Amino acid sequence: MSKYSNFDLIKKLKNVSILCSLLLLVAFSCVSTANAYQLKNYKWPQPSTTFYVDIPGENGLWNDAFEGAMYEWGVNTVFQYYIVSGTYEDPCDATEGKNGVKFSSTDCGDAWGSTTLAVCHTWYIASTSTITQTDIVFNSNEPWNVYSTSWSYNVNDFHRVAVHELGHALGLGHEDSGVSTIMGTYAGDITIPQQDDIDGVAALYGSACTYSISPTSGSFTSSGGSSSVSVTASSSTCAWTASESLSWVSLSPTSGTGSGTVTVSVSANTGSARSGSVTIAGKTYSISQAAPIPGKVTLISPLGTIKNTIPTFTWNEESSATFYYLYIWDENHNEVHKDWYTIADDNLNYDKANCSNGYCTVTLDFELEEGSYEWFIKVYNGYYQGDYSDGMSFTVQSNIQNIYYDDYDGDGYGNPNKSMSASSQP
C-alpha cells in the first residue's frame, strides 16, 4: 500500500513539474522581449520632423509637456523632433505639410465618441511609404493634467499620452506583447520610451551612435610624449571628431568613422605643472603634465666666518619651487638642522621662506653654537624634489676681533701700517 502511495506521489510530482515547465515555457513565450516593437508601414524620409506647438492654457503647461514629450524620443535614438514654439498650425489642415497639435472638442469635425482621448493622424505617400505630415489632436472633453505618478483613472496624463502619440507620429504602432513599452494600447505607469521603443526607432531610422574612449585620462612627465586613446563606436558608420584648445597638446587624427585610435601628443613642459582636457568622440580626455624636475639652486650666504649665531640663509630663487628644504650639518657631518620651508603665505603648517627679487631667505629660530657648518638647499616643485645644491661652509665665531686701522694723517683713511685688533671699535 505504501509502495503504491509513493508511486502516486512521484507521478503527481512529475505531472506538476511538467505542468510548471509548460507554464514557464508559455510564460516566456508570451513575454518575450526580443524585437517586440510594431512598425507602421511608413516613416519620415529623414530621422526628424518639426512640430509647430502653441497649445494655449494652463500657463504653458501643455506646451512644456508636449515639448518634453518630443524630447523623450531623442534620447538614445537618432530621431529628433524639432519644435517651432509659439506658432500655431492647425492639425486639421493637411494642405500645408506642417505638423500641428491642439486640444479640440471634435477631431476636426468628427465626434470623439465616448472613449477616444487623442488621435495621431499621419499622411504618407503609399508608393514610397514616406510621411508628409502628422498631426495630433487631444480630446478637450476629457480631463487632463500632467503628472508622472501612476496612471490616474480620474484624469489623463497629457505628457505620457503625448509621448505615445509622438511614437505613432514617427512610425511606431501599438505593441501589446507584454514588453515594457510606451506604445502599449493601454496607458499605465510607463511615461517615456523604453528599450523596445528605442529598438523600434532604430529599426526605422538606424541606431543612435554611441561612443566610448579608453583610457579617459593621461599623465605626462615634464618632457612630454604621446599616448594612444582608443575610440569605440557603436557602428562602423558613426563619425566622430577630436578637438583641443590647448597649445601644448596636439591630436591625430582629428576625425574618424567607426572605432579607431587617437594619438595625444604633449609637448615638453618648462614651467609649472599644468592640466587640461580635450574632446574625443564627444568624450572628455583629461591630461595632466608635471613640471620639470627642479634644478640646483645657488647658495649665497652665510659663507666664511660670521659672528651672528642666528644667521640668515640666502640663495637664488627657483621659479618652479613650492617648497625649499634647508639642511645643515657640522664639520663632523652631524645633522644640525633640517626642515621644509614653504613659499606660500597661507600654509601655516610650515615656516616660510621669503622670496623676492630672485632671492630667498630663511632665518633660523635658534642659535648656532660656535663652530663650522655646511648647508644645503633642495627644491620641491609639487611633483619632484630636485638635487641638493652644492654645499656652502661657514664658521660661527662670535668673539671674532675686527682689525681697525688708525687714520694717522687725518686724511679720512686708515693707515695700513698702524692697525690693531679688537672685538669692538677702540
Partner 1 sequence: MYHKTLSLISILVYLFLIPIPYGHAASVRQVTMDEMLQQCQFVFEGKVLALEAKENSQKRIHTYVTFKIQDIIKGEYSSETIILSFLGGTVGDVTMGVSDMKVPQVGEHGIYFVESLEKSQVHPLYGWSQGHFLVQSDNTGIDRVMTSNKQAVTGVMKDMSVQQMNSSQKTVPLLNKGVASGVTVALKDNDNKGLTAEEFKKILRDKMGMGQ
Residues that bind partner 1 in the complex, under the rule CB under 8 A: 8, 11-12, 15-16, 19, 22-23, 26, 30-31, 40, 42, 92-95, 107-127, 132, 150-151, 153, 156, 160-161, 164-165, 168, 173-174, 176, 178, 182-189
Closest by CA position to 138, among listed 175, 166, 174? 166
The length of the chain is 426
Nearer to partner 1, 97 or 371 (CB): 97
Q: Least distance to partner 1 from the beta carbon of 40, Å?
A: 7
Nearby residues of 41 by Cβ (< 8 Å), 6 or more positions away: 129
Phi/psi at 142 (5° precision)? -90, 155
What letter does residue 318 receive in the DSSP assignment? Answer: -
Of 42 and 373, CB closest to partner 1:
42
Considering the complex, state which of residue 127 and residue 332 has its C-beta at the smaller distance from partner 1.
127
What would the grid cell of residue 69 be? Answer: 514629450
Q: Measured from the CB of residue 122, what is the shortest distance to partner 1 in angstroms? A: 4
Nearer to partner 1, 102 or 168 (CB): 168
Q: Residue 242: helix, strand or coil by DSSP?
A: strand
Shortest CB 128 distance to partner 1, Å: 8
How far out from the chain centre does Cα 11 lie? 62
Give the side-chain half-sphere CA count within 13 A for 383. Answer: 17
8 vs 331, beta carbon nearer partner 1: 8
Closest approach of Cβ 127 to partner 1, in Å?
5
Please say which residue, 110 or 369, places its beta carbon nearer to partner 1.
110
- Cell 642659535 sits at which residue? 367
CB of 252 to partner 1, least distance (A): 50
C-alpha 7/C-alpha 101 separation (Å) is 69
Q: Please, what is the minimum distance in Å from the beta carbon of residue 124 to partner 1? A: 5
Give the three cell numbers for residue 391: 654645499
Whole-number Å distance between alpha carbons of 267 and 269: 6
Q: Closer to partner 1 by CB, 21 or 319: give it.
A: 21
Q: Which is nearer to partner 1, 162 or 242 (CB)?
A: 162
Q: Which is nearer to partner 1, 74 or 173 (CB)?
A: 173
Amino acid occupying residue 179: V
**Whole-number minimum distance, CB 66 to partner 1, in Å?**
14
CA–CA separation, 273 and 192 (whole Å):
47
E strands, 206-303, are 211-214, 217-220, 225-233, 239-243, 249-252, 255-257, 260-266, 274-280, 283-289, 299-301
Minimum distance of partner 1 from residue 208's CB (angstroms): 24
State whether residue 337 is helix, strand or coil: strand
Q: Report, in Å, the least distance between residue 216 CB and partner 1.
A: 40
Cα angle 75-79-83, degrees, rounded to a multiple of 5: 90
**Phi and psi for 208 in degrees, rounded to 5?**
-70, 140
